[in-house]
Amino acid sequence: MTANFWLNKKILITGGRGFLGRHLVGRLRDEYKVPVKNIRIPDIGTSDLRVLENCRKAVKGADVVIHLAANVGGIGYNREHPGELFYDNAIMGIQLMEAARHAGVKKYVAIGTVCAYPKFTPVPFKEDDIWDGYPEETNAPYGLAKKMQLVQSQSYRAQYGFNSIFLLPVNLYGPGDNFNPKSSHVIPALIKKFVEAEKKNEKRVTVWGTGKVSREFLYVEDAARGILLASERYGKSDPVNLGAGREIKIKDLVLLIKDLAGFKGKVIWDRTQPDGQPRRMLDTRRAQKEFGFKAVMSFEEGLKRTILWYKSISV
């Protein structure tokens, strides 16, 4: 690791108190020994990044900006809030990068999303395929808003020499995830359903869709490590995937979480609810080649840790 990269750097991490942000800040403190005073996290209550002046204040004096802050949720949340998801994520990203450029920030790390890929991207998703179609409809507003950071990043590097990079993480999971059923993603939503059903001795759990679609998931600690490696070692315009390089059908995911949570009842599939994108799995070779990142957490072990964490806070 190139710990010297972080030496004496002033680091702004938007969304630093969120799910991924807490893990990333912890790794900076514990592994890289970055002093707490050198890490700045905007307060969501007083520093709304949809306001340009707040972006200017946030980036002032920063050497490195890692933009994690996002309005984000699962399929249901995307379906109910498409306008908010587009506006909030687009305006935050555009204004923050512009403010960072004017402030002379030395490295800007924009975090995109797998939702930016076209609905029918060939599997595994290669970074060069990102413009070959329209995203899956339920999460297109969010995915396109985040993808504008790629356009901005490439444009600013071309015109201003601004050192910004764009990363495309797949869906994350792990301890500290969002378990709110109104906005959570599939893994925390399933964990909550099965753990609560097992506690209450219920006989059945209903899950969305057909179970035929597939997804890829990246453990949050792996994601934090990948982002920091890219921050240190990567400095090109090309987007880079961050993933585990493995795919699982939702049906198999449901049965795995059911077993790990100890639920003995029946699974009911609500086929009136959407499946989302047909398949998702990233080609992860560019990240390994460019900055030496490869996911290390096994999927089953990651799920066990997440389930244990959730049980510990839901006693």
Which pair of tokens denotes residue 44? 């969501």
When pLDDT is cut at 50, 70 and 90, the band that residue 118 belongs to is very high
Would residue 87 show up in a list of annotated catalytic residues for this protein?
A: no
Distance between CA atoms of 100 and 292, rounded to whole angstroms? 27
Which pair of tokens denotes residue 231? 């921050």
How many whole angstroms from its chain centre is CA 264? 32
Q: Bigger pLDDT: 283 or 44? A: 283
When pLDDT is cut at 50, 70 and 90, the band that residue 3 belongs to is low
Classify 269 as helix, strand or coil: strand
Report CA torsion sign: 182, 186, 188, 194. positive
Nearest in space to 232 (alpha carbons), one of 69, 99, 111, 109: 109
pLDDT over threshold 60, residue 90: yes
Task: Give helix then strand counts, H and E, for the chain.
Answer: 10, 12
- How does pLDDT run across 27-65, given as a tens digit for each residue? 999 999 999 999 999 987 789 999 999 999 999 999 999
CB-based burial label for 225 (10 Å; 0-12, 13-18, 19+): buried
How much is the pLDDT for 220?
A: 98
How much is the pLDDT for 23?
A: 97
Share of the chain above pLDDT 70, in %: 99
pLDDT over threshold 60, residue 288: yes
pLDDT over threshold 50, residue 1: no
Strand 214-215 vs strand 248-249: parallel, antiparallel, or unpaired?
A: antiparallel
Give the pLDDT mean for 241-246. 96
How much is the pLDDT for 43?
A: 87
How much is the pLDDT for 2?
A: 53
Of 61-70, 71-80, 90-99, 124-133, the poorest mean pLDDT is in: 71-80
Please list, in sequence order, all residues whose beta carbon lies within 8 angstroms of the beta carbon of residue 77, skipping any fewer than 6 positions away. Answer: 85, 182, 183
- How does pLDDT run across 173-214, given as a tens digit for each residue? 999 999 998 888 899 999 999 999 999 999 999 999 999 999
pLDDT over threshold 90, residue 74: no
Which domains occur in the chain, in start order? 3-174+216-246+280-297 (3.40.50.720)
pLDDT over threshold 80, residue 138: yes
Set 32, 108, 142, 156: catalytic member: 142
On average, the pLDDT of the chain sits at 95
Give the pLDDT mean for 96-107. 98
pLDDT over threshold 80, residue 88: yes
CB 85 within 8 Å of CB 78: yes
Give the pLDDT mean for 81-109. 98
